[in-house]
Structure 1
Amino acid sequence: MSRDSFFCITVVFALLAVPIRSAIAQETGTVTGTASRAAEGDVLGSVSVTAAGTGQTTATGTDGKYTLRRVPAGPQTIVFRWLGYRPSEVQVVVEPGATVTADAALEAVAVSLGEIVVEGASRAPERITEAPAAISVVPEQVLQSTAVTGQAPLALQTVPGVDVTQSGVNDFNVNARGFNSSLNRRVLVLQDGRDLAIAFLGSQEWNGLTQSLQDLGRVEMVRGPGSALYGANAFSGVVNITTPTAREILGNRLTVAGGELESFRVDGRHASVFADGRLGLRLNGGYNRSDTYSRSRTELDGTSLQDEYAPATDEPVPPNREVLPLAGQSTNAAGEAIGDRDPLVNVYGAGRLDYYLDNGSVVSVDGGAARVENEIFVTGIGRVQVDKAIKPYVRAAWAADRFNVFGFWNSRTSLDPQFSLTSGLPLEERSDILHAEGQSNWNFQEERGRVVFGASARNTKVNTSGTLMNLLDDDRSDNLYSAYGQVEYRIVPQVRLVGAARFDEGDLIESQFSPKAAVVYSPTEDHSFRLSVNRAFQTPNYSEFFLQVPVAAPTGAPRTLEGGVEQYYQAIRASLPPSALAGLTITDNLPWNFPQLTPALALGNADLEVETVTGWELGYKGTLGEKVYVTADAYINRLSNFVTDLLPGVNPDYPSFALTDGVDLSGELTALDQRIQQLQAGGLITPQQAAQLRAPIPVLLGGFAQLSAGTRIQGGNALATLPDGSRAIVLSYTNAGRVTERGIELGLGYQFTPEVRGDVSFTGFDFDADEEEQAVGDQLLPNTPSKKATFSVSYTGEQGFDGNVSLRLVDGYQWAAGIFTGYVPASEFINLSAGYRVNNYFRIHATATNLLDQERFQMYGGSVIGRRILGGVTANF
Structure 2
Amino acid sequence: MRRDSSAPLRTRLFAGLALASFAFLLVPGMVAAQETGTVAGRVTRAADGGELSSVSVSIPGIGLSTVTGTDGRYTLRRVPAGPQTIVFRWLGYRPTEVQVVVEPGATVTADAALEAVVISLGEIVVEGASRAPERIVEAPAAISVVPQEVLQSVAITGQAPLALQSVPGVDVVQSGVNDFNVNARGFNSSLNRRVLTLQDGRDLAIAFLGSQEWAGLTQPLDDLGRVEMVRGPGSALYGANAFSGVINITTPTAREVLGSRMTIAGGELETFRVDGRHAGLAADGRIGFRVNGGFNRSDTYSRSRTLRNGTSLRQEYEEATDEPVPVTVEAIPLNGERIDPVTGVVSGDRDPLRNIYGSGRLDYYLDNGSVASVDGGVSRVENEIFVTGIGRVQVDQAVKPYVRAALAADRYNVFGYWNSRTSLEPQLSLTSGLEIEERSDIFHLEGQNNWNFLEDRGRVVYGASYRNTKVNTSGTLMNLANDNRSDDLYSAYGQVEYRIAPQVRLVGAARFDDGDLIESQFSPKGAIVFSPNESHSFRVSVNRAFQTPNYSEFFLQVPVAAPTAGPRTLEGSIETYYAAVRQNIPPPFLADLTITDDLPWQFAPLTNALALGNANLEVEKVTGWEVGYKGSLGDRVYITADAYINQLRNFVTDLLPGVNPAYPSYALTSEVNVPDELTALDARLAQLGLPENHPLRAPIPLLLGGHGQLEQGTRIQGGNALATLPDGSRAIVLSYTNAGSVTERGIELGIGYQFTPEIRGDVSFTGFSFDVDEEEQAAGDQLVPNTPSKKATFSLSYAGQQGFDGNVTLRLVDGHDWAAGIFQG
TM-score normalised over the length of structure 1: 0.92
Correspondent of 1:16 among 5, 14, 23: 23
Superposed displacement of residue 6, structure 1: 11
- 1:281 lines up with 2:289 in the alignment: yes
Q: Which letter maps to 2:702?
A: V
In structure 2, the partner of 1:870 is: none
Stretch deviating more after TM superposition (665-674 or 507-516): 665-674
Superposed displacement of residue 12, structure 1: 3.3
Q: What secondary structure, in the 3-state scheme, does the structure 2 residue paired with 1:673 have?
A: helix
Q: Is the 8 A contact 1:503 1:512 kept in 2?
A: yes
Superposed displacement of residue 624, structure 1: 1.3
Q: For residues 9-88 of structure 1, what are the structure 2 equivalents within 5 Å?
A: 12-18=19-25, 20-21=27-28, 22-88=30-96
Give me the whole-angstrom Cα distance separating, in 1, the residues matched to 2:13 and 2:479: 27
| Closer/same/farther in 2, CA of residues 281 and 800 from structure 1, 3 Å limit | closer
| Closer/same/farther in 2, CA of residues 613 and 17 from structure 1, 3 Å limit | farther
| Closer/same/farther in 2, CA of residues 810 and 612 from structure 1, 3 Å limit | same
CA deviation profile, 1:782-822 (whole Å, cap 9, x unmatched): 01111111001112233443211110111111111111111
Q: Which letter maps to 1:59?
A: V
Superposed displacement of residue 258, structure 1: 1.2
Superposed displacement of residue 23, structure 1: 2.6
Give me the whole-angstrom Cα distance separating, in 2, the residues matched to 1:127 and 1:626: 15
Q: Which letter maps to 1:532?
A: S
Superposed displacement of residue 302, structure 1: 0.8
Give me the whole-angstrom Cα distance separating, in 1, the residues matched to 2:594 and 2:83: 104
Correspondent of 2:574 among 565, 582, 598: 565
In structure 1, the partner of 2:4 is: none
Q: What secondary structure, in the 3-state scheme, does the structure 2 residue paired with 1:202 have?
A: coil
Q: What secondary structure, in the 3-state scheme, does the structure 2 residue paired with 1:114 have?
A: helix
Correspondent of 1:334 among 329, 334, 343: 343
Superposed displacement of residue 525, structure 1: 1.1
In structure 1, the partner of 2:733 is: 730
Correspondent of 1:814 among 809, 814, 817: 817
Superposed displacement of residue 706, structure 1: 0.9
Give me the whole-angstrom Cα distance separating, in 2, the residues matched to 1:713 and 1:14: 53
Superposed displacement of residue 547, structure 1: 0.2
Q: Which letter maps to 2:621?
A: T
Q: Is the 8 A contact 2:185 2:746 kept in 1?
A: yes
CA deviation profile, 1:56-90 (whole Å, cap 9, x unmatched): 11111111111111111111111111122221111
In structure 2, the partner of 1:863 is: none
Q: Is the 8 A contact 1:168 1:294 kept in 2?
A: yes
Q: Is the 8 A contact 1:85 1:107 kept in 2?
A: yes
| Closer/same/farther in 2, CA of residues 780 and 659 from structure 1, 3 Å limit | same
Say how many residue pairs are matched.
Answer: 816
Q: What secondary structure, in the 3-state scheme, does the structure 2 residue paired with 1:703 have?
A: helix
In structure 1, the partner of 2:5 is: none
Give me the whole-angstrom Cα distance separating, in 2, the residues matched to 1:337 and 1:630: 53
In structure 2, the partner of 1:753 is: 756
Q: For residues 341-380 of structure 1, what are the structure 2 equivalents within 5 Å?
A: 341-380=350-389
Q: For residues 627-642 of structure 1, what are the structure 2 equivalents within 5 Å?
A: 627-642=636-651
Give me the whole-angstrom Cα distance separating, in 2, the residues matched to 1:780 and 1:401: 45
- 1:125 lines up with 2:133 in the alignment: yes
Stretch deviating more after TM superposition (134-143 or 621-630): 621-630
- 1:518 lines up with 2:521 in the alignment: no
- 1:619 lines up with 2:619 in the alignment: no
- 1:486 lines up with 2:489 in the alignment: no
In structure 2, the partner of 1:457 is: 466
Q: For residues 784-803 of structure 1, what are the structure 2 equivalents within 5 Å?
A: 784-803=787-806
- 1:157 lines up with 2:161 in the alignment: no
Q: What secondary structure, in the 3-state scheme, does the structure 2 residue paired with 1:149 have?
A: coil
- 1:445 lines up with 2:448 in the alignment: no
Q: What secondary structure, in the 3-state scheme, does the structure 2 residue paired with 1:144 have?
A: helix
- 1:739 lines up with 2:742 in the alignment: yes
For structure 1, the 5+ residue unaligned runs are 823-877
- 1:233 lines up with 2:247 in the alignment: no
Give me the whole-angstrom Cα distance separating, in 2, the residues matched to 1:4 and 1:488: 30
Correspondent of 1:105 among 100, 113, 130: 113
| Percent of paired sites with the same residue | 77
Q: Is the 8 A contact 2:149 2:797 kept in 1?
A: no
Stretch deviating more after TM superposition (515-524 or 85-94): 85-94
Stretch deviating more after TM superposition (719-728 or 111-120): 111-120
In structure 2, the partner of 1:392 is: 401
Q: What secondary structure, in the 3-state scheme, does the structure 1 residue paired with 2:657 have?
A: coil
Q: For residues 83-482 of structure 1, what are the structure 2 equivalents within 5 Å?
A: 83-332=91-340, 333-482=342-491
Superposed displacement of residue 2, structure 1: 13
Give me the whole-angstrom Cα distance separating, in 1, the residues matched to 2:87 and 2:470: 46
Superposed displacement of residue 345, structure 1: 0.7
Superposed displacement of residue 694, structure 1: 1.3
CA deviation profile, 1:200-226 (whole Å, cap 9, x unmatched): 000000011111111101110000000
| Closer/same/farther in 2, CA of residues 786 and 134 from structure 1, 3 Å limit | same
| Closer/same/farther in 2, CA of residues 252 and 486 from structure 1, 3 Å limit | same
Q: What secondary structure, in the 3-state scheme, does the structure 1 residue paired with 2:688 have?
A: helix
Q: Which letter maps to 2:782?
A: Q
Q: Which letter maps to 1:654?
A: Y
Q: Which letter maps to 1:483?
A: A
Give me the whole-angstrom Cα distance separating, in 2, the residues matched to 1:819 and 1:587: 39
CA deviation profile, 1:636-690 (whole Å, cap 9, x unmatched): 000000000000110000011100011011111111111111111xxxx5x48x6
Superposed displacement of residue 15, structure 1: 1.7
Superposed displacement of residue 625, structure 1: 2.2
| Closer/same/farther in 2, CA of residues 45 and 236 from structure 1, 3 Å limit | same
Q: For residues 553-632 of structure 1, what are the structure 2 equivalents within 5 Å?
A: 553-632=562-641
For structure 2, the 5+ residue unaligned runs are 1-7
Q: Which letter maps to 1:110?
A: V
CA deviation profile, 1:181-218 (whole Å, cap 9, x unmatched): 00000000000000000000000000111111111011
Give me the whole-angstrom Cα distance separating, in 2, the residues matched to 1:98 and 1:495: 47
Q: Is the 8 A contact 2:121 2:636 kept in 1?
A: no
TM-score normalised over the length of structure 2: 0.97
